[in-house]
Chain A
């Protein structure tokens, strides 16, 4: 009875925050879908979705990985509360990215998909990153956290390697101008730099200085 009462209660501000993040993460998908539906995505809408979903997955991964340093820096509970959600969004975008490749580029030619996955290094790397994301996704629930105990944390440090694989996958797709790739690589380097022990130790102290200054 107590539980159902809690569920029936009006949502608190943290639930609203989570819902807001959910809607914001969903918005790009709706927007791209709308572009395609209204014939505004160019002559090759499948490729438009493919590229946007890939970049979207990278954005989500970078955002997910920036939550821990942000929490340390600000101690704001809100960042920690959306970490699992954004991690799962990363998996969703990456899965849709692969699906759009199979559907829109290969036209669901499974034989072709099989041979391409084996033959092309950049696709192998992308697939490895996706497999890693799936492993993190299925162990993102409380039950797995309890089961895995300390090992859960080491397992989820796999996200760092996944970030590296995604950047390599992206690098091999770039044809003539590395500017966009370089911007993402710099963002990734920043996010990873916050994990270096000296930086990680400094972040909470920075917060103290911020709050004193204001």
Chain B
């Protein structure tokens, strides 16, 4: 299998994976192997039992089958004592998903109107193998992995969430990017009928919600296309049926309910950068040293918390994934590229 990784400053038609990326992937996999050792000794065959009080979803049969066949706990936090999972009710009840309203509880209350079956995704732009793909066809060649990631919101709160999905890199590789592809642009569904937030006359977002990654970020093994969480399919308010998860970036980069993935030459203008460029940049890497203009990013409140223990912890560079991703940004000034 050829792995094609393009760096923006080092673009070439190469069928050899750059050594640094290869090594970082090896290091990453090595870390995973150690952490996943329990699995090799006969981990759980089905996750359902692992997640108490998680309501059964009503996803399609193919998705249930994919989930049953998941490589469980493929990535887990290094410090599982500190990074304890958020309860499912919190992870699915406290969301930013402006397509369903601007309150944290709005998405859980209103996202029932989203129809996630059937669902297809357009892959286009600088690819040889583009087209419109049914979600099942997009997912089927890859085995699901469970990735337990820290999710750091730009609003200075965080949760630890077990995602189920496939590496974005595998989907992009199958699309065969051309040599001109330097960035990946993502789009959320636009359908005011299903998404009440898009009907608001006072919305500052110019729908569709758009996000983007540099191609090497998109190809990074940590970057996940998630279709499930907590051993089941995604609840609508969490971005069903297909969302991005980029654990070293602020949560708004992890775009939800994706309908289009385009390989492009130019850096996409992501929605938040469009609304408030002085507050939100393209990269949005978690960085405790670069404050949001309205609050400090040096610490975060790990949720759930309680009134008199805000559970404030230090925010880590790249959300604690610096060993895996720091080299993507070698030589870049992260104050200007926030």
A-to-B contact residues, CB < 8 Å: 36, 42-47, 49, 103-107, 109, 112, 115-116, 120, 122, 172-182
Contact = CB atoms under 8 A, between A and B. Distances in A.
A43 B307 contact: no
Interface string B149-187: 000000001010000000000000000000000000000
B310 A107 contact: yes
Given A104-B310, A120-B295, A46 B204 contact: no
B304 A43 contact: yes
Interface SS majority for chain A: helix
Contacts of B104: 42, 44
B90 interface: yes
A173 B202 CA distance: 15
A161 B203 CA distance: 27
Nearest to A45: B307
B294 A43 contact: no
Given A42-B93, A177-B98, A179-B203, 20 more contacts: A42-B94, A42-B104, A43-B90, A43-B159, A43-B304, A44-B104, A44-B303, A46-B307, A49-B307, A107-B309, A107-B312, A116-B295, A120-B293, A120-B295, A177-B102, A177-B200, A177-B205, A179-B201, A180-B102, A182-B202
18 contacts: A42-B104, A42-B105, A43-B86, A43-B303, A44-B305, A103-B307, A103-B308, A104-B308, A105-B310, A115-B296, A120-B294, A122-B294, A176-B102, A176-B205, A176-B275, A177-B98, A177-B205, A180-B102
B335 to A, nearest CB: 16
Residue among A103, A112, A176 facing the most chain B CB atoms (10 A cut-off): A176
Interface SS majority for chain B: loop
A113 to B, nearest CB: 11
Contacts of B105: 42
A46 B310 contact: yes
B306 interface: yes
Contact of A177 (B202, B293, B303, B305): B202
Contacts of A47: 157
A43 B205 contact: no
B232 interface: no
B310 A179 contact: no
Contacts of A116: 295-296
Contacts of A172: 294
A177 B310 contact: no
B243 interface: no
B299 to A, nearest CB: 8
B301 interface: yes
A173 B292 CA distance: 12
Residue among A44, A46, A180 facing the most chain B CB atoms (10 A cut-off): A44
A45 B311 CA distance: 12
A189 to B, nearest CB: 16
Given A105-B310, A116-B295, A122-B294, A44 B204 contact: no
A181 B203 CA distance: 11
Contact of A44 (B98, B200, B203, B301): B301
A36 B200 CA distance: 30
Contacts of B296: 112, 115-116
B125 interface: no
B295 A44 contact: no
Nearest to B203: A177
Nearest to A48: B104
Interface string B277-314: 00000000000000001111000010111111110100
Contacts of B157: 44, 47
